[in-house]
Amino acid sequence: MSTQRKIRMGMMGGGLNSFIGIVHRIASYIGEEYTLVGGVFDSNFENGQKFAKKLELDLSRTYADIDTFVEKELALPAEERIEVVVVVTPNFLHYPMAKQLIENGFHVICEKPITNTAAEAMELESLTKKHGVSFALTHTYTGYPMVRQMKSMIAEGVLGKIQKVDAQYYQGWINPVIHDKEKRAGVWRLNPEKAGQSCCMGDIGVHAFNMVEYTTGLKTTKVLADLNTLYEDNPLDIDGTAMCQFDNGAKGLVRASQIATSEENNLCIAVYGTKAGIKWEQENPNYLYFMEEGKPVQVLKPGHEYNSELSAISTKIAPGHPEGIFDSMGNIYSGAAKAIRGEEYLEGAFPTVHEGVRGMKFIEAVLASSKNGNVWTEIED
Ligand code: NAD
């Protein structure tokens, strides 16, 4: 942990009753690297202020909108100004907010999907370079110590040559909503104006895709996808499968569904090589299964000396004390803190803006493949 002062943090969204805001606030506290100062916590200013009051924040740093935020924060002396802004609004606001923040010199921590289009994501990538700010994309699951261990073991070559990858993200929460037109109307994830081009692939398929590229280091070169909207008057996918080809010649699958009835947060990834296989499940995140040809399965756990440096820095307590989603997000925040401070960090310490570009290219290729009659569709590097 750094002995430097805490980084001053702001938030866009994430206020009272938001789903993921609390995960970010707890995560930002875990490494004791950040202090929440203010932001635009809600689409409704009054609610945003109520929320700031509850957190005992300085109300003068809670703003009605991003324009006021930028104007008032830039007017403050640099040593008081918010340095990093966390964007946790519905999808359609990520791009315009992140762009405005980057152009005004703020570091950004942003939720996925990074933007609505790959072109927007590429623009954000070049803007971060131009303005010299850091950008962390919160693909939450990459922060788990055993996911990081999986990445390290694959990089060491313990699997041999990778020949098959299977990533699945199954949820069932849309099932009670999708069959009822009125209920559907109240869900922003099913509204293209707020969610963007995709529901299921943009919301969770992109996490599974990111896990594949994060853990294996492979690049996906082509996809053949089949998406399902279930109803003709539902414009966005809520289920889908993408067959994938990778740059080493291996093949695999990214499967995602929000109508896998009664599934909760069933994200799993399995990677099989010529010598061994390795498997991880989000609902049981402290266990990593290593399956060597001809040997009994080994179960690796966090906090042990046999784990890699990247896994070790992502564990905060002795073995046997289970860590979960808050800790995983906390590890991304700790990695991002190093980038914000200009310190060195390990590759894989946090997902970058480039992973956002890859994710958007995947979503667009999957949508095009499905729309064009399930044809192989290239993903440019
Ligand atoms: P939500 O609807 O629960 O919360 C959205 C918040 O944004 C609310 O507080 C709302 O008032 C606020 N908001 C809306 N418009 C705003 C504006 N103009 N200015 C300021 N605040 C505004 O949504 P959620 O489920 O928390 O999702 C938010 C984002 O997080 C989405 O992009 C989603 O994809 C992502 N997400 C990521 C994960 C993950 O595992 N990384 C999990 C859930 C959600």
pLDDT digits (tens, 9 = 90+) for 282-293: 999 999 999 999
16 and 70 inside one domain: yes
Which residue minimizes the CA distance to atom 2 of ligand 1? 18
100 and 226 inside one domain: no
Distance CA 183, CA 177 (A): 6
In CATH, what number is assigned to the domain containing residue 359?
A: 3.30.360.10
Domain that holds residue 95: 7-140
3-state helix, strand, coil in the chain (%, to 5): 40, 20, 40
> Are 10 and 69 spatial neighbours (Cβ–Cβ below 8 Å)?
yes
195 and 120 inside one domain: no
153 and 223 inside one domain: yes
174 and 42 inside one domain: no
| Residue 4's pLDDT band (cuts 50, 70, 90) | confident
Token pair 């703003």 in the structure block, residue? 63
193 and 278 inside one domain: yes
Residue 346 within any structural domain of the chain? no
> Are 330 and 31 spatial neighbours (Cβ–Cβ below 8 Å)?
yes
Q: What is the pLDDT of residue 3?
A: 76
Instruction: Identify the domain boundary among 140, 170, 197.
Output: 140
In CATH, what number is assigned to the domain containing residue 44?
A: 3.40.50.720
51 and 200 inside one domain: no
Residue 381 within any structural domain of the chain? no
Distance CA 360, CA 374 (A): 19
| Res. 2: pLDDT tops 90 | no
Q: What is the mean pLDDT of residues 152-161?
A: 98
What is the best residue among 11, 17, 20, 45 to mutate for testing ligand 1's pocket, by most ligand atoms within 8 Å of CB? 20
Instruction: Identify the domain boundary among 140, 163, 187.
Output: 140
Buried-exposed string 65-79: b where 16+ CB fall within 10 A, e elsewhere: ebeebbeebeeeeee
E strand or H helix at 290, and its extent? strand 288-292
Q: What is the mean pLDDT of residues 364-373?
A: 98
Q: What is the mean pLDDT of residues 312-331?
A: 96
Determine the atom of ligand 1 nearest the C-alpha atom of 138.
41
Q: What is the pLDDT of residue 199?
A: 98
Q: Which of 191, 255, 263 is nearest to 228 (CA)?
A: 255
Which residue minimizes the CA distance to atom 39 of ligand 1? 140
118 and 236 inside one domain: no
E strand or H helix at 52, and its extent? helix 45-54
Count the domains in the chain. 2
| Residue 54's pLDDT band (cuts 50, 70, 90) | very high
Structure tokens at 257: 């569904």
Q: What is the pLDDT of residue 1?
A: 58
β-partners of residue 82 are none
CA of 109 to the centre of ligand 1 (A): 13
Structure tokens at 80: 């008081």
290 φψ region: left (φ > 0), alpha (ψ -120 to 50), beta (else): beta
Residue 202 within any structural domain of the chain? yes
Mean confidence (pLDDT) of the chain: 97
Q: What is the mean pLDDT of residues 88-101?
A: 98
Please report, as a single letter, which amino acid is at residue 174.
I
Instruction: Identify the domain boundary among 88, 110, 140.
Output: 140
140 lines ligand 1 (CB under 6 A): yes
Distance CA 224, CA 376 (A): 5
Which residue minimizes the CA distance to atom 15 of ligand 1? 43
Which residue minimizes the CA distance to atom 18 of ligand 1? 43
Note if the pTM is more than 0.90.
yes
131 and 149 inside one domain: no
Q: Phi and psi at residue 164, in whole multiples of 5°?
A: -155, 135
Kindly provide the ipTM of the predicted complex, given to two decimals. Answer: 0.99
Distance CA 359, CA 357 (A): 5
Distance CA 3, CA 323 (A): 24
Residue 175 within any structural domain of the chain? yes
Determine the atom of ligand 1 nearest the C-alpha atom of 66.
19
Handedness of CA 281, 285, 290, 296 (dihedral sign): negative
Determine the atom of ligand 1 nearest the C-alpha atom of 89.
7
13 lines ligand 1 (CB under 6 A): yes
CA of 321 to the centre of ligand 1 (A): 30
Helix extents (H) in 78-236: 94-103, 118-131, 145-156, 175-178, 181-185, 192-195, 200, 206-216
Which residue minimizes the CA distance to atom 35 of ligand 1? 111
72 and 114 inside one domain: yes
Residue 347 within any structural domain of the chain? no
Determine the atom of ligand 1 nearest the C-alpha atom of 16.
9
Q: What is the pLDDT of residue 319?
A: 96
42 lines ligand 1 (CB under 6 A): yes
Give the orientation angle of helix 145-156 with respect to helix 206-216, to 10 degrees.
Answer: 50
Residue 343 within any structural domain of the chain? no
- pLDDT tens for residues 230-280? 999 999 999 999 999 999 999 999 999 999 999 999 999 999 999 999 999
Distance CA 37, CA 136 (A): 19
166 and 48 inside one domain: no
Structure tokens at 351: 């997902």
CA of 93 to the centre of ligand 1 (A): 9
Residue 165 within any structural domain of the chain? yes
What is the best residue among 16, 19, 95 to mutate for testing ligand 1's pocket, by most ligand atoms within 8 Å of CB? 19
Token pair 């008057």 in the structure block, residue? 233
47 and 98 inside one domain: yes
Q: Phi and psi at residue 3, in whole multiples of 5°?
A: -95, 5
Q: 302 or 380, which is more confident?
A: 302
105 lines ligand 1 (CB under 6 A): no
Which residues, 6+ apart, have CB-to-CB distance to 30 below 8 Å? 316, 326, 327, 330, 333, 334
211 lines ligand 1 (CB under 6 A): no
Residue 319 within any structural domain of the chain? no
Q: What is the DSSP letter of 308?
A: -
